[in-house]
Structure 1
Amino acid sequence: MNPSAIEVSAETFYIAAQSQPEQHKFVFAYTIRIQNNSLEKVQLLRRHWLITDANGLQVEVDGEGVVGEQPELAPNESYSYTSGAVLETPVGTMQGHYIMQDNKRNEFQVAIPLFRLALPNILN
């Protein structure tokens, strides 16, 4: 399995209603889209995140699946989910990888490209 056949993209949103900037609590949501461009079925087994705020504080998160699921994606199928992160600063980044398996149960790693979490209009 060629890991580059699995495409991962992210869209982020600032959740002002749940944030408390005066208490250094900035809440973000992100929607991840995983597209299987391979010729075989794959399954997402685990995730690893590295979340970094503007102060350089890093938090690593590992777990089974995503949002309680271990989705299977047929060829040319996509899967999307929305989750969230809380930062102590108004800007930060997330990146990581998924551990997936092909239909022969061979595990492989798929990179989650770095994406930015930021208050609207804070960065040009």
Structure 2
Amino acid sequence: MTTSLSTGHELSNKINITVNTQYLTDHPANDADKFAFAYEINIANNSDENVQLINRYWLIIDGNGKQTEVEGAGVVGEQPYIENGTSFQYSSGAVLDTPVGSMQGYYEMQDKDGAIFRVPINIFRLAVPHLIN
């Protein structure tokens, strides 16, 4: 069976991604030149099909414009199946060289027929609280 990548797959807009971020004040990576953040992702499958998260891609941009790309299989060591009407949550983190930055990307998901499609993750901010008024 061959798999094809679709960017306009009918399920793409039925997978909803929400993100919550937090600055990790007491994280050991924090010093004068590093800033640690956690993010919690919720992936809600609002379609009528079960899907599997196969790959992830992140573009991380710090406050100086430095770009870091992260890609690979699954998330947090898993390639979860997300049944229709359910959601999958996980937490991860990023360390930036600046107190403000952003992340965006996509998940590659697989439908029941083996077709791979992308679900975009909208840009979200990583920022030390009370830094910017």
Report the 3-state secondary structure (helix = DSSP H, G, I; strand = E; otherwise coil) of the residue aligned with 2:26.
helix
Query: Which amino acid counterpart does residue 14 of structure 1 have in structure 2?
Result: Y
Root-mean-square deviation (CA, aligned residues, Å) is: 0.9
Please name the residue that 2:55 is paired with.
Answer: 46
The counterpart of 1:100, out of the listed 101, 109, 129, is 109
- TM-score scaled by structure 2? 0.89
Measure how far apart 1:90 and its partner are.
0.3
User: What CA distance in whole angstroms lies between the structure 1 residues aligned with 2:106 and 2:11?
Assistant: 15
Q: Runs of 4 or more off by more than 6 Å in structure 1? A: none
Measure how far apart 1:16 and its partner are.
1.2
Please name the residue that 1:116 is paired with.
Answer: 125
Structure 1 gaps of 5+ residues are none
Asked if 1:15 corresponds to 2:15, the answer is: no
Higher helix share: 1
Please name the residue that 2:93 is paired with.
Answer: 84
Alignment of 1:68-79 (within 5 A): 68-79=77-88
- State the identity as a percent: 50
Structure 2 gaps of 5+ residues are 1-9
Please name the residue that 2:64 is paired with.
Answer: 55
Measure how far apart 1:122 and its partner are.
1.7
